[in-house]
Structure 1
């Protein structure tokens, strides 16, 4: 308590004006008023008694006479301790740090203020001791009860007012108060009966200036102590069991607080990581990551995201562990602990790598089997794995045994001529010629002469002996009419007659020539639309469409691409006396390319890479830029799942081409290391 807390605000009166001062009992409720001189300096106080008498005499007294009537009351700073006043003065004038008068303190104010303070202190003290479950009795030196708390009142089943001021042994006969007072020493753990309850009692003498002025008696219900002891034993047993469970786990376990400080770790964690408990416990996970103990921390991710997290963690010594961090929340939902389960997956990682390599070998074996299988079908140039090509070759072999006209459609470079040769080789005319003509490569006049031949002297520049046409030369064999969609409309009529009658006349001739020829036509154009547009004769179209065979573009049968790549690698290795291989990353990149030029374009790319690369293995850097740097865009006609998978494969391959490390790919794409390896394996991006 400070002096200002007891102060009454009063304005000082100047000595020169003191004769004008009048006392009003209703207004002036204080004993004196400070007086200042003409320099504003404090010179004393005028009391109420002198003031009352001055009403009649001041007017006749001089200033010096009035000054002699002033009383000297000490000054005290406003922030001074009020207890100083209680011990050293009964009145005071209160001033601030500059000596200016702020007010006065009267004896009555001191008594009332300190009494109020002591009562307040007593109430707080009683509130404190009443809040405890421990019994407390304060005794004076004679053994009379002066203070008692609520616990004692409950134990004695008496109101506190009925206990205070009674002699202690009258209410608690067994209390050894006199022994403690005689020995002037405390007594501990005395068994005393309070009412019907057995308690443990401690008596502590109270001393002041070396003299014992009383004692405090403290006691605790033995049944409560026994319960606490039991609970403590249970806690110890639970802690011991928990320690046993944690240390018996084969997996490593760590516990951190909500800031990432390591609190506990088991022996398995020490075994898995090689870290001793005193290295890690008490340290923050952020510091351990910065010091190189770990490459990342599941704990920090759990603290950040407030959910369970599983990561592949690399620790000192290049070991790899699988860490699952789980958050522990209190009843308010606040994070209080993070528990990490740690399992060594170094061997599993090695095993996974071995399995991935085995899968890669299996893929290569499947490719070779498909390659050998395609050769067994009858042409070492038709290489496939897809169901669509399997169906094409099945139709081709079926139709080869008859002489029905076949129309092969498909984009340029899909292998229409190869299928035509296969039909010829499997047919009855295998021992007779296979003759091809490109209907788009020559004008109508030359086309007629080439197909039907001419008699001698048929036109200027003709051979004297004449010349047989391709129909005659292909007798009993096969005539392959490539790009028939580009045949001139006027010549289509003549072609229709040959297909219907199986006879024709040479240019300049007069005698029909009968032939037995197998007709196979091919085109990259949409003949049905050309018929609708009036560009191609419908009767010729339907004559050709007896057995239609459609070859899908290479981009729609991607499963054929890996074995085609291997076939072309083998082909040009043998041709140029090389022994080159190709990485699976390059294969995957080529699989994703759209191949507008189909198989022909793929073969050209492989040949170019082989002849222009010095390295023994063809890698991503050897790909043509237009393939390597092509921005991936899924086709519009694919399902969502397929488009997502293709996009994932593309992003993984592009990132690996940039970093050459799957760990860096995981960081680049914001994926977990395990997820990155799993998806890379799924899309066959790992050697």
Structure 2
């Protein structure tokens, strides 16, 4: 039986001063810790060197054993165990010997077991040789005089000697006498000592063998073949170079690559990092199972788990906190037995790709709209009206559908809308689409003809009807428009006395010329237009109610240009083409110019747009018209929106909208074009154009 060392124990509830007093009383450096809650069972041990730093600091009265670094790498073995049982736990630092009641009776260290195995006569030389030969290195056991007591077969191969030749040598002759004396006399341990001779070259580790009292009783020499180590070093260098090349390849790829173990532990990663994606340095995550980060919201917890469960390629897309879109692909790697060995995950920042895809989707929608418009133009290609009405908006499309529907009847039509929206153009559309298209279309501006002449212009007069009249008389516009259409623009300017006469024409289909004696029958479709609110005029007694109802049989409202900004680019290009032809120019509008024109509110509607395009066509020195030439012209109509300060609690959505509006206004003031402003704000140009147009509309409404 191996002689065991006495085990000194102390409760975990004791103070450090208690344990130090015990260490001072006994020379043994180990104190074993017991826990009363576990029936005095051993839970670990403390070495004297572990408490020395605390003793130097002083003030240890209030410190307890539980605050010390307790070592738990012990194993318990019965005192009746066989020597082989001790050998099985030889890798542990401390072996605790327990009795039948499981109480500690002593302990052993590794050197105690080794000493017993090497010196016990009862263990048998053959048994020791078998043990030594099981170690894949050369092992030599000597006494204090350097005589070789035992050795492994690997020593014979390395030193190129027979067993008889080796036993005749002393270890100092084989290796180095001076180094050996350091081990025997001073108890030193010498590592990585290179010995090169003509017959052999080895790398040696020399260490003392002590008995339980700490006295050196011999030495152990561990030999390694130096050429073999050099070969291993070369292979290691090759592996290191291969690792450098692999890291360089990973870092040069567009994707970020990370490698995980089969359980999800981060092993390595490429040098390319996705900015603002990782919330911590990945170096701090090496060796950590990424699935444990699930509670922190880390996405790997989901993709890693899916790869492990499904054992196939998994692809997910997620958005980081900074708004980046990241495509993540997890691939399983299997060994030769088909078992999962590694997980390789590739991450790619697809933020720009998503934006481009969204812009492509928008462009496709625009293309579809243009395609529908072209088909619409083809359907109307036989009509001259296509040359006059240019549009792509749904609002004008609805107006045109309605006009086409009512153009086959001769009912009275009332066109309403702001000044400059093109009411005359739409009245001509009714004429050209209807059955009277080959008959006269007569336009009369009721606000442009003096009141004293308006009656004669409308109804005509007989010869000699009044002083200064034409000797042969004159037919009025009603007679000239017979069988056709009479367009009365600015009908709200018609005097009350003529309103009565107009009402009679609408009711009786006849009129009396000035100075005439016989009424004249007439077949005329009346189309009127106004930018005034006739209902309010009726309430103010400025317009006859009965006439209003006669005129308002088919009302058609023409939307203002700011209500249909998508029509602006087409109208701009249409007018520019006309003026290029008229003035023999070759002007073009830049995209920035079109963006700026589209964002303007156009209080003068189509008429104002046409006038500005003509001015630019005539005055521009360069063929390309950009935003710099347009901005001074339209800037007068814009007012800067002040900053909206938040001085009270408002809904979060409203606050976000306020900030968004302010940023758009600041960007437009700074860059002056929606394209540049969109780049500065990191959104698409169509988004800025749409939102800026909405801001202009709100400002026009006084919101």
Deviations 1:497-545 (A, max 9, x none): 1221222222233332322222211111121222233321111111112
Give the aligned partner of residue 144 of structure 2: 182
Distance 1:436 1:344 in 2: 60
Aligned to 1:341: 347
- Tell me how far apart the structure 2 counterparts of residues 187 and 377 of structure 1 sit (CA, whole Å): 119
Q: By how many angstroms is 1:188 displaced?
A: 12
> CA, structure 1 residues 552+523, in 2 after alignment: closer, same or farther (shift >3 Å)?
same
Equivalent position SS for 1:520: strand
The alignment status of 1:153 with 2:58, answered yes or no, reads no
Q: How far apart in 1 are the matches of 2:573 and 2:663?
A: 21
Counterpart among 440, 446, 451 of residue 439 in structure 1: 446
Equivalent pairs counted in the alignment come to 458
Deviation at residue 408 of structure 1 after TM alignment: 1.5
Query: Aligned pair 1:128/2:47, yes or no?
Result: yes
Q: How does 1:528-567 map to 2 (within 5 A)?
A: 528-567=535-574
Task: Indicate the SS of the match to 1:153.
Answer: strand
Matches within 5 A, 1:58-73: none
1:367-422 deviations in whole A, cap 9, x for unaligned?
66655655544412122223332333333344433332221212111221112222
Distance between the aligned counterparts of 1:406 and 1:251, measured in 2?
66
**Cα offset, 1:493, TM superposition:** 1.5
Shift of 1:482: 0.9
Counterpart residue number, 1:625? 632
Structure 2 CA distance for partners of 1:660 and 1:389, relative to 1, 3 Å: closer
Tell me how far apart the structure 1 counterparts of residues 564 and 362 of structure 2 sit (CA, whole Å). 25
1:490 match: 497
Distance 1:579 1:343, change over 3 A: same
Cα 1:394–1:209 change in 2 (3 A) is closer
Q: Which residue of 264, 275, 278 maps to 1:297?
A: 275
Q: 1:351 to 1:412 in 2, by over 3 A?
A: closer
Superposed CA RMSD in Å reads: 5.9
- 1:233-382 alignment to 2 at 5 Å? 252-254=255-257, 264-266=268-270, 297-298=275-276, 341-342=347-348, 375-379=381-385, 380-382=387-389
Match of 1:470 among 470, 477, 500: 477
Q: Is residue 2:520 matched to residue 1:513?
A: yes
Say if 1:426 and 1:346 are closer, same or farther in 2 by CA, change over 3 A. closer
Residues 562-577 of structure 1: pairs in structure 2 closer than 5 A: 562-577=569-584
Helix, strand or coil at the partner of 1:511? coil
SS at match of 2:505: helix
Q: Secondary structure at the match of 2:215?
A: strand
2:597 maps to 590
SS at match of 2:595: helix
Among candidates 615, 620, 623, match of residue 608 of structure 1: 615
What secondary structure sits across from 1:442 in the alignment?
coil
Distance 1:531 1:682, change over 3 A: closer
TM-aligned CA distance change 1:572 to 1:648, over 3 Å: farther
Classify the secondary structure of the residue corresponding to 1:152.
strand
Q: Note the alpha carbon deviations across 1:409-439, whole angstroms, 9 max, x for none.
A: 1211122111222223344444443222211
Alignment pair present for 1:654 and 2:668: yes
User: Please, what TM-score do these two structures have when normalized by structure 1?
Assistant: 0.52
Report if aligned partners of 2:462, 2:473 keep a CA contact under 8 Å in 1: yes
Correspondence list, 1:55-204, <5 A: 119=24, 126=31, 127-128=46-47, 131=71, 133=73, 151-154=94-97, 173-176=116-119, 182-183=144-145
CA distance in 1, matches of 2:184, 2:21: 25
CA offsets per residue over residues 110-132 of structure 1, 9 Å max, x none?
xxxxx969718968754228826
What is the CA deviation profile of residues 197-235 of structure 1, one whole-angstrom value per residue up to 9, with x for unaligned ones?
Answer: xxxxxxx9785699997149999xxxxxxxxxxxxxxxx
- 2:176 match: none
**Alignment counterpart, residue 404 of structure 1, candidates 398, 411, 419:** 411
Relative CO higher for 1 or 2, CA cutoff 8 Å, sep ≥ 6? 1
Q: Do 1:370 and 1:385's aligned partners in 2 also have CA atoms closer than 8 Å? A: no
- The answer to whether the 8 Å contact 2:392/2:567 transfers is yes
> Residue 563 of structure 1 aligns to a residue in which SS?
helix
Normalised to the residue count of structure 2, the TM-score between the two structures is: 0.51
Task: State the distance in 2 between where 1:492 and 1:185 align.
Answer: 141
Distance in 2, matches of 1:507 and 1:659, equals 59
- 1:394 matched to which residue of 2? 401
Secondary structure of 2:144's aligned partner: helix
What SS does the aligned partner of 2:443 have?
strand
Quick one: distance in 2 between partners of 1:181 and 1:542?
Answer: 131
Name the CA distance, whole Å, in 2 between partners of 1:589 and 1:131.
Answer: 77
